[in-house]
Structure 1
Amino acid sequence: MEIKTIIGISAGVLTAVSILPQILKVLREKKAQAVSPLMFFVLLAGNLLWCWYGLILNELPIVVTNAFSVGCDILMIVVNYKYSKR
């Protein structure tokens, strides 16, 4: 595997998992008042565009890591909606 591929996969994985601590915190505390839903909608749009870009380039690491991020963004939007109403 080429070094550029390793760097790309590493960057994608780190970026994708960066949202997990926030999701876990909201799920644990069942509070999302301090979380901006707008940020996650913008992030969702950006990650969807990255997926599209990866598909255009036929670059599986870009598609996979950003697809994971899309799932996390959607989960965060859902839990934000669920717990911000309390």
Structure 2
Amino acid sequence: MELIGFAAAILTTAAFLPQVYKTWKTKDVSSLSLPMLLMFFIGIILWLAYGFLINSPSMIFANSITVVSSFILVYFKIKYSKE
């Protein structure tokens, strides 16, 4: 079952990374919603905590990376919205 979890983790995490890259390169955050990003970030933190509680390596792996990438998007949204 963890193999299925790792496959899902890789796909869902990888799907999020192009948005982070595009935002970093273009500095265009106009289409990003700060409330959505904050809710997503908090949700991912909760999924990460849940992964630790149930000792699921695939959940820990995916959500660790996604916490970082979603934090970066929140940071970009705040930083580039002021420019």
Quote how far apart the aligned CAs of 1:54 are. Answer: 0.9
Q: Structure 1 residue aligned with 2:43, among 43, 46, 50?
A: 46
Q: Which amino acid aligns with 1:44?
A: F
Which residues of structure 2 form unaligned runs of 5+?
Answer: none
Query: Aligned partner of 1:29: which letter?
Result: T
* SS at 1:19 equivalent: helix
What are structure 1's unaligned runs of at least 5 residues? Answer: none
In the alignment, is residue 28 of structure 1 matched against residue 28 of structure 2?
no
Q: Which has the larger radius of gyration?
A: 1
Q: Runs in 1 of length 4+ with deviation above 3 angstroms?
A: none
Identical pairs, percent = 29
Deviation at residue 18 of structure 1 after TM alignment: 1.9
Given candidates 2, 26, 38, the residue that maps to 1:5 is 2
Q: CA deviation at 1:57?
A: 0.7
Question: What's the TM-score, normalizing by structure 1?
Answer: 0.87
Shift of 1:15: 1.3
Aligned length: 83
Q: Which residue of structure 1 lines up, in the alignment, with residue 62 of structure 2? A: 65
Q: Give 1:15's match in structure 2, choosing from 2, 12, 17.
A: 12
- 2:31 counterpart SS class: coil
